[in-house]
Structure 1
Amino acid sequence: MLEIIFEDEYDTAAFLHLAEHLDSRHHMSIQQGKDRLLIEAKESKEGLEPIVRPLLVHFFLECKENERMRSILENTYLFKDPEEQHQILSIAHSIMNGDLDDIPGIHQEPSREALLTKELETISLHQGIFSIGSFMTFRLSEYDRRLKNYVEVSIEEYKMEQEYQNFIQSLRDYVMAKEPKLEKVHVVHQDRLMIWEFRYASERDQKQYIDRQFVREHPMYIDSQLIAPLVSIAPQKIDLFTNDTGHSMVQTIQNIFQERVEVFPAHSFQEHHVRFVHDHLEQKSEKLS
């Protein structure tokens, strides 16, 4: 018989809930106490270990992993705010699930399941006493390093996302406060995204539409070929022609200009609807004369 001692009654209930929904429950009998369980194998030639070990791995991943990462956030990196913790842990889960696989500094091998299994295999789970708290304190250093790695990378991603959102908001505020230099522009996605009104404009003509002071204030973030002129022009309407709505620059334009942007399929673009930059400049010079 194996006695498993849990940290509290909630963990005991969580372990029982997992056991009830796994096939292993039919192969063992369980006696429940407030913070402990007594487990015996039912007519199993292999004994209790191959039944309990995967159940414990599942328990640590499902019931204790978030708790441990939250502890790392609070105690090591001093993120106390629950909403910030939630956002960082959401990023961490995306990384662990493989949804974000282009992030440097991530170690996925061996898997977390393998790390837990490796440590559990060093302990007899056939009989005696197994303490969840002691196991986590003294046996999971490698597993904890993996979780700390996920947390560190997730914090960096979170900070970058916050910085990006602040940047986008500053561009929104600038656009909202600015008088439009052109009422409408067309952004067309061919080999790259470009403002079609500038297609035949000289570099000198293009510079007349760019707020160089604003670009100097955002040198690391602003794209001089597309975002800088778009934000400087601050058009009331942008017709955006693309077949790749998930493109990062397409999403950035939509985030900045929001309801001013209307997206169309690339094949629907017609150049004869476009009035080019030099036409606007010629009309402006005629008015001045």
Structure 2
Amino acid sequence: MLEVIFEDDHDTAAFLHLIQQSDDRRHFIVREGIKKVGIERSESAFSVQRFIEPIFVRFFLECKEDEHMLSLIEDAYCFTDQDEQQQILQLAHSIMEGELDDHPFEPKKEPRTQFISDALRTISLDAGVFSVRSFQTFRLGKYYERLREYAEAAIDEYRMEQEYQNFIQSLRDYVTSNPPRMKKVRIVHDRAFTLWELRYVSEREQKKYIDRRFVREHPMYIDSHLLAPLISIAPETVELYTDKPEHMMSRTIQNVFQERVRLFPLGAFVSEKTEG
């Protein structure tokens, strides 16, 4: 019989729940104890090792992974606020699932589940005592190193998002606290973004529309051809013509000007030009 030792009743219950979900459960005898579960086969044709390996993989992924990630985020990277921890954890899950396609973190060829499976195969699980805590401490080094990489990538993503939000707020504050220099402007996104009212204005003349002091305060973020004059003009209405409203620049314009933005498909502007 294999006896699995847990640290608490919650883990014991979670593991038993996973066993109950297995289609092969009927071929094994499962005995529940205090912080432990005993497993033995009821039919000689079946292997405890083969039965229990995928259950252990699910257990570490579904029941212990977030616990370890949150511990890393708090203890190794000093994020103690629970809301921040949850945001970072969610970003880590997004990276793991490949949801952030433009993220610079490149997933390794070997999935993290493989590290758990490989570690389980180095020991016999047909009989004896299996301590979850000892296995985590001595066998899952490569798996936890992978989780650290995901945590670091998520923290980088979180910090970038925080910087972006602070940047957006500073632009929003500027726009709301300064009188508009034009009532309405149109921005046409056809390959590039064009501030239509300034399309024939020379670069020298465009500089007259730009608040240089404000640009100096945000040198890394302000686009001198579009964002700098647009923010400095602080129009009452921004008509944005684009077929890609989720483009980073489109999102920035919408986030800064909020209810001042009127969004149109690119084709609507082409029709307007033709009719005019």
Q: Distance in 2 between matches of 1:54 and 1:99?
A: 25
Q: Which residue of 2 aligns with 1:16?
A: 16
1:185-225 per-position Cα deviation (integer Å, ceiling 9, x unaligned): 00111121111111111222211111111111110011111
Q: Is the 8 A contact 2:209 2:233 kept in 1?
A: yes
Q: Is the 8 A contact 1:242 1:264 kept in 2?
A: yes
Tell me: CA distance 1:11–1:253, structure 2 relative to 1, closer, same or farther (3 Å): same
TM-score, length-scaled by structure 2 = 0.95
Q: Distance in 2 between matches of 1:142 and 1:29?
A: 32
Q: Distance in 1 between matches of 2:106 and 2:265?
A: 37
Q: How does 1:123-272 map to 2 (within 5 A)?
A: 123-269=123-269, 270-271=272-273
Q: Distance in 1 between matches of 2:273 and 2:216?
A: 33
Instruction: Determine helix, strand or coil for the equivalent of 1:179.
Output: coil
Q: Distance in 1 between matches of 2:27 and 2:109?
A: 32
1:200-252 per-position Cα deviation (integer Å, ceiling 9, x unaligned): 11222211111111111110011111111110000010111111111111011
Q: Which residue of 2 aligns with 1:43?
A: 43
Instruction: Determine helix, strand or coil for the equivalent of 2:24.
Output: helix
State the one-letter code of the partner of 2:18. L
State the one-letter code of the partner of 1:190. D
Q: Which residue of 2 aligns with 1:32?
A: 32
Give how far 1:153 is off: 1.3
Instruction: Determine helix, strand or coil for the equivalent of 2:37.
Output: strand
Once structures 1 and 2 are overlaid, which stretch shifts more, 68-77 or 258-267? Answer: 68-77
What RMSD, in angstroms, separates the aligned Cα atoms of the two structures?
1.5
Residues 1:96 and 2:96 aligned together: yes
State the one-letter code of the partner of 1:169. Q
Instruction: Determine helix, strand or coil for the equivalent of 2:221.
Output: coil
Q: Distance in 2 between matches of 1:9 and 1:218?
A: 53
Q: Which residue of 1 aligns with 2:52?
A: 52
1:153-178 per-position Cα deviation (integer Å, ceiling 9, x unaligned): 11111111101100100000000000
TM-score, length-scaled by structure 1 = 0.91
Q: Distance in 2 between matches of 1:50 and 1:91?
A: 33
Q: Distance in 1 between matches of 2:123 and 2:110?
A: 20
User: Identity of aligned pairs, percent?
Assistant: 53
Q: Distance in 2 between matches of 1:268 and 1:44?
A: 72
1:110-161 per-position Cα deviation (integer Å, ceiling 9, x unaligned): 1111000000000100001101011001111111111111111111111111
Q: Distance in 1 between matches of 2:232 and 2:206?
A: 11
Paired positions, count: 274
Once structures 1 and 2 are overlaid, which stretch shifts more, 185-194 or 37-46? Answer: 37-46
Q: Is the 8 A contact 1:182 1:234 kept in 2?
A: yes
Unaligned runs of 5+ in 1: 275-289
Unaligned runs of 5+ in 2: none
Q: Which residue of 1 aligns with 2:75?
A: 75
Q: Distance in 1 between matches of 2:69 and 2:10?
A: 18
State the one-letter code of the partner of 2:273. E
State the one-letter code of the partner of 1:135. F
Q: Is the 8 A contact 2:27 2:46 kept in 1?
A: no
Tell me: CA distance 1:273–1:195, structure 2 relative to 1, closer, same or farther (3 Å): farther
Q: Distance in 1 between matches of 2:105 and 2:35?
A: 39
State the one-letter code of the partner of 2:257. F
Q: Is the 8 A contact 1:182 1:233 kept in 2?
A: yes
